[in-house]
Structure 1
Amino acid sequence: MAATIRPDPVLIQAVIAGALSFAHLHDLAEAAGQSGWKGWAYPVSVDLLLVAAWRRLRSARRDRSAWTWFVTALAASLGANIATAGLLDLHQVPAWLRILVAGWPALAFLGGTLLVHSPTTPAPTEPATEEPDAPEVTVQRTDDPARAPELAPAPEPAPAPVKPATAAPVVPAALLDHARKLADAHQAATGSPMPADTLSARLGLPAETTRAITSQLQLA
């Protein structure tokens, strides 16, 4: 199936405008003494500088150098179109215009060189936001004896309470003298000290009282 060609009105308008501007620049250059191929080279130089500056502005809109050469090329193109509208006698071109036309190649060469070799400032990039690190979670398994938590030591048993010592019974002096006489008589008869049980039986006293008497007799 053959493709149908549809004319683009915008493209047609651009071609017509470019051709007219090209012709006006050529006529002005030829009237300023640039004949032959030189007259045709001037429109190409102006338009190329204008396109190069515009392309540079698309990538760096804040580039002052690109804006300077864009305005310069636009002024040259617009001035040539206005000059050929009958406001200027092309048969008697003034000297200042001849100077401008003659110096244009050097100016265009300088502008093109600066546009090509000037560094392009990259657009500022937003700093990447660092995500906070996830907190580390330590998991302890109770089924693994190597990682099982240590058991707290068992509390030490409390010491048994100490019973207070009972005070020794007070032995009267008369009872102590009587017990001493019995002990002396027993030792004299048997040759050995009287046992505490025997003394307790002779005196008919409780065991605690008898022990108290025995201890006092031994100390004496």
Structure 2
Amino acid sequence: MGRPVLRVDAVLVQAVIAGALSFAHLHDLAAAAGQDGWKAWAYPVSVDLLLVAAWRRLRSDGPSRLAWCWFVVALFASLGANVATAGFLDLADPPALLRLGIAGWPALAFLGGTLLAHSAGDRSPAPPTPAAPDPAPGAEPESEPEPATVAEPEPAPVTPVTPVTPVTDDPAPALPAVDPAPRPALPVPAALVDHARKVAADHQARTGAQIDTDTLRARLGVPAQLADTIAAHLA
């Protein structure tokens, strides 16, 4: 296997140079404000760490007022040090406001770092929605019962009532034979007539001839007199 080739990233080199310059400017500004020794080196580390912490909070949790506030504070401290060391301030005799800012920075940076580290994700997660239980293997899904169809009851056959002649002990005189009067037609329900029409149409479609009264009576199951009346309606 060949040795890995070291690739130089221009963006990374630029970031290292910019970070080193900003680090040096912050050190020089802290030293000019009276912070000597290791304290002057700790100031740029504190500013850069607060800037990185605020940026990571913005990248991980999304935009928030807290993260943007401390990001602007750290950026202002870094940018202010770069501008101040460019000759705009007399570092040999720094103003009192600069000394005040340098002296109060540790407490400000500690507050910002604490808020960024311990104020994210305090909301309690919502309880998960219980999933519906899986059906047992081999079980068929329940189907809705089909609505029961109620069959229309067929009309009961009408039985003609035969008048009963009372029997008396005295013989009645013989009367001359006369033709009986025609019996009145029985009332036929409309549903029975419609059903009879369907039966007659089916018979004619199968046989090619019109249905007779006997066949109609057998198909409908009605008395002969009622069959005659229905046949009269069909004629």
Opposite residue 24 of structure 1, the aligned amino acid is H
Displacement after TM superposition at 1:65 (Å) = 1.3
TM-score (structure 1 length as normaliser): 0.61
Instruction: Please identify the structure whose Cα radius of gyration is greater.
Output: 1
Q: Bigger CA drift: 41-50 or 87-96?
A: 87-96
Q: Whole-Å Cα distance in 1 between the matches of residues 154 and 71 of structure 2?
A: 92
Matched, 1:137 2:143: yes
State how 1:26-65 maps to structure 2 within 5 Å.
Answer: 26-65=27-66
Q: Is the 8 A contact 1:53 1:67 kept in 2?
A: yes
TM-score (structure 2 length as normaliser): 0.58
Opposite residue 74 of structure 1, the aligned amino acid is L
Opposite residue 160 of structure 1, the aligned amino acid is T
Structure 1 match to 2:159 = 160
Q: Is the 8 A contact 1:60 1:121 kept in 2?
A: no
Q: Whole-Å Cα distance in 1 between the matches of residues 98 and 29 of structure 2?
A: 9
Opposite residue 59 of structure 1, the aligned amino acid is S
Q: Is the 8 A contact 1:49 1:112 kept in 2?
A: yes
Count of residue correspondences:
161
Q: Which runs of 5+ in 1 are unaligned?
A: 129-134, 141-148, 167-192, 209-220
State how 1:1-220 maps to structure 2 within 5 Å.
Answer: 1-120=2-121, 137-138=143-144, 155=154, 157-163=156-162, 205=174
Q: Whole-Å Cα distance in 2 between the matches of residues 43 and 151 of structure 1?
A: 92
**Identity score, percent:** 61
Displacement after TM superposition at 1:41 (Å) = 0.2
Opposite residue 41 of structure 1, the aligned amino acid is A
Q: Is the 8 A contact 1:24 1:84 kept in 2?
A: yes
Opposite residue 5 of structure 1, the aligned amino acid is L
Q: Whole-Å Cα distance in 2 between the matches of residues 103 and 137 of structure 1?
A: 76
Of Structure 1 and Structure 2, which has the larger fraction of its residues in helix?
A: 1
Q: Whole-Å Cα distance in 2 between the matches of residues 52 and 150 of structure 1?
A: 75
Q: Whole-Å Cα distance in 1 between the matches of residues 163 and 73 of structure 2?
A: 118
Q: Whole-Å Cα distance in 1 between the matches of residues 102 and 66 of structure 2?
A: 22
